[in-house]
């Protein structure tokens, strides 16, 4: 709370100077550190990449923002929490409604509009997993980059927690309960982030090929 109280006024001042993107990644990295994250990075995020990462915990957002200055595609359900939505907005989060097929075209347009110099992260599983296996990657949002596949790096990312099953947030566990459990946890949370090679060749043929190739690359990196 002390860190939040210090950094928000700084952010508001920087915001007035037209640098909306300067402070939020630093704040998210700081919060990850407070939560116990200790990160080792392999590879590097490409400028303007679309990052396709496995999803284990809310810690993933803190880790990726801190290491790559990424922005995120998130479920619109977060919008009902005023304070959390405000925090997400500061980092230019793109909100989509994943469970309504009628909105897919609008979601694709949102994703395409968000592509820029900062990496944009999609969690293709659509939800968090239990830390021991991958859920099937979904391809719908990759429609946004089908016509741009040669111009936008499509980069798989493997988030490899040393104790993934212990920190995973999934199933029926309420978010606040998971937050309390993680913050009360003793010791560090070791995470290796592997920024894998961007997809190329036949893997860029269409959204389904991109999805399958990204899942295979992440699975191989995680050995699951």
CATH number at residue 171: 3.40.1130
Q: What is the pLDDT of residue 23?
A: 77
Cα-based angle 151, 156, 162 (whole degrees, multiple of 5): 155
Domain that holds residue 51: 2-222
Q: How many domains does the chain have?
A: 1
pLDDT in tens, the chain (224 residues): 677 677 777 667 777 766 667 678 888 898 899 999 999 999 999 999 999 999 999 999 999 999 999 999 887 666 556 566 777 777 778 887 755 554 567 777 878 878 888 999 999 998 898 888 899 999 888 888 888 878 899 999 999 999 998 999 988 888 889 999 999 988 899 999 999 999 999 999 999 999 999 999 999 999 87
Which pLDDT value is given to residue 107?
A: 74
Q: Rounded to two decimals, what is the model's pTM?
A: 0.86
pLDDT (0 to 100) of residue 20 = 65
The pLDDT value recorded for residue 93 is 83
pLDDT at site 98: 58
């Amino acid at each position: 709370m002390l860190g939040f109280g210090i950094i928000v006024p700084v952010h508001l001042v920087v915001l007035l100077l037209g640098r909306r993107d300067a402070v939020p990644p630093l704040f998210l990295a700081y919060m990850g550190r407070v939560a116990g994250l200790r990160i080792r990075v392999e590879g590097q995020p490409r400028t303007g990449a679309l990052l396709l990462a496995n999803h284990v915990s809310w810690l993933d957002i803190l880790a990726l923002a801190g290491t790559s200055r990424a922005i995120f595609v998130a479920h619109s359900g977060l919008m009902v929490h005023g304070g959390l939505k405000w925090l997400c907005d500061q980092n230019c989060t793109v909100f989509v409604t994943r469970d309504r097929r009628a909105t897919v075209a609008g979601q694709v347009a949102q994703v395409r509009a968000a592509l820029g110099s900062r990496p944009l992260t999609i969690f293709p599983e659509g939800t968090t997993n239990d830390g021991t296996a991958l859920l099937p990657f979904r391809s719908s949002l990759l429609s946004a980059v089908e016509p741009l596949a040669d111009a936008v790096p499509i980069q798989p990312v493997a988030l490899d927690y040393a104790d993934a099953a212990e920190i995973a947030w999934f199933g029926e566990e309420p978010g606040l309960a998971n937050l309390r459990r993680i913050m009360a946890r003793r010791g560090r949370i070791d995470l290796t982030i592997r920024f894998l090679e961007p997809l190329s060749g036949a893997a860029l043929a269409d959204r389904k090929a991109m999805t399958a190739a990204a899942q295979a690359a992440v699975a191989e990196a995680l050995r699951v």
